[in-house]
Structure 1
Amino acid sequence: MQPDLELVHIRKGESFAAWRHGYPFRTVRWHYHPEYEIHLVVATSGTFYIGDFVGNFGPGQLIMTGPNLPQNWISEIEPGEVVPARSLVIQFPEPFIEDACSSMPEMDALRPLLERSRRGLLFDEETSAKVRPVMERLLEAQGMARLALFWEILDLLVNAPHYEVLASLSFELDLTGIGDSGINRALSHLREHLTEQIEEGELAEMVGQSQSAFSRAFKRHTGTTLVRYRNQLRIDLACQMLLTDQEIKVAEICYDVGFSNLSNFNRHFLKFKGMSPSQFRTTFAAQKAFVMAE
């Protein structure tokens, strides 16, 4: 089965994405993305897939994956159960880290880690326990403090005493058909222009299809329409902003993620999340306080 392209959105003024997500969630599927990823499970157990590797996971599992390595984590939960916070995630683009390595000699120590991560790296419990509080702080940090915590995490991974390489040496994802497929090219374009008003006809023309053919293909691939899919991505981005920046106002987030008015934003947020943006922020703040108290 060919993996789907995941759209990783890095906010303007930031070098990488850092966020938490619950379960079920839209990214929980067989997927890939061109960014490196650091993935820490904080709740639930289940089965995970990295390249051609299959294993079991539980709370505390820490994995780093390189660009375009297919992956998925499927939690074992009761029907209808919702887990508010399952994973902590950092995603950073290859050009960002390559530029840093090229400009700072101290970064040479990072290159072996980056190369090994292209097959997926599972770290030991000791490293996971050290990384988790730093990731938690990073999710709340801004500016230079956020960047400093990012480098601290990479330093912990570089110096990890034990790790396991996951995908086999023979595994290699063939991106020839995937990257050039009409739908994934359209998804990639959406990723780069998520906050802009891109019409279905524009995407259809870009991939050389009629609008009706593109619409049918898009729905088969994503399970929904372009408008709903784009709104879902924007609401997901809004959720990240609500959780990572307690000072930013809901109205600012509304326009930052591409909605043209606040009432439309609130209506779609309620439809996708079952609560208002303010309630969402309050609920997860309470959940975080409860987890920390434990």
Structure 2
Amino acid sequence: MNPDLEVVQIRQGESFKAWAHGYPFRTVRWHFHPEYELHLVVATTGRYFVGDFIGEFEPGNLVLTGPNLPHNWVSDVPPGETVPLRGRVVQFSEEFIAGASAVLPELSACAGILETSRRGALFSPATAELAAPLLAELTEAQGVRRLSLFMAVLDILNRAGDVRTLASAGYLPDPSGFMSAGINQALAYINCHLTEPFSEAT
């Protein structure tokens, strides 16, 4: 089954998106997007899927997925039950991190972990414990504090010596293949033309 395209909207005046969500939630489905995503599970257990990897998660599950790598976390929650806070998420584009690295050459040290994330990078509970309070603050932070928290989280990920790669070496995400579904083509068109008038027929 082809994954759905998630259109990630990074607000004007912000370099990245940092947010939290409960369960069930609209983004909880087999999906992909061009942005990197750092995903921390705060509550519930269940199964998660990254590329061709399937595993079980619990609170403290911290994963960085690279561009266009399909993923999903499905919680073991009875039908009709809701969880107000299931996870925290940070999403940022390749363009942002490349531009930041051009201005701040020290960020080039993160190239290794970003490359690993193209197959999904799973961090240990110890690393997740270090990152968790920063991610909690990051979802509400503003201005320079927001940037400093992002850099601090990136530093924690970069210094982690306990990273596990999830998807197999032979797994190569193919966004051109994913985009064959009509709905994904429509979403991609809308994402590229949000500021322009277009009709339903278009």
TM over 0.5: yes
Q: Is the 8 A contact 2:22 2:85 kept in 1?
A: yes
Query: Counterpart of 2:179 in 1: which secondary structure?
Result: helix
Determine which structure has more spread, i.e. the larger CA radius of gyration. Answer: 1
Deviations 1:187-233 (A, max 9, x none): 0232345577643112xxxxxxxxxxxxxxxxxxxxxxxxxxxxxxx
Secondary structure of 1:200's match? coil
Letter in 1 for 2:189: H
CA distance in 2, matches of 1:92, 1:69: 14
Task: Report the TM-score when normalising by structure 1.
Answer: 0.66
Measured in 2, the distance between the counterparts of 1:189 and 1:85 equals: 31
Query: Equivalents in 1 of 2:127, 2:197: separation in Å?
Result: 43
Q: How does 1:31-180 map to 2 (within 5 A)?
A: 31-179=31-179
What's the C-alpha RMSD, in Å, of the aligned pairs? 1.5
Identify the residue that residue 10 of structure 1 maps to in structure 2.
10
Alpha-carbon distance in structure 2 between the residues aligned to 1:88 and 1:24: 14
Change (3 A) 1:125 1:12: same
TM-score (normalizing by structure 2): 0.95
Aligned mates of 2:168, 2:110 — CA distance in 1: 22
Percent of aligned pairs sharing the same letter: 53
Q: Is the 8 A contact 2:63 2:123 kept in 1?
A: yes
Instruction: Pick which of 11-20 and 187-196 moved more.
Output: 187-196
SS of equivalent residue, structure 2 residue 134: helix
Deviations 1:80-125 (A, max 9, x none): 0011110100000110001112222211211101101000011011
Partner amino acid, structure 2, of 1:57: F
SS in 1 for 2:15: coil
Please identify which structure carries the higher helix content: 1
Alpha-carbon distance in structure 1 between the residues aligned to 2:44 and 2:188: 31
Which structure carries more relative contact order (alpha carbon 8 Å, separation 6+)? Answer: 2
Give the alignment of 1:13-32 within 5 angstroms.
13-32=13-32
Name the CA distance, whole Å, in 1 between partners of 2:11 and 2:38.
Answer: 18
> Measured at CA, do residues 55 and 137 of structure 1 come closer, stay the same or move farther in structure 2, by a change above 3 Å?
same
- Looking at secondary structure, tell me which structure has more strand per residue: 2
**Unpaired segments ≥5 residues, structure 2:** none
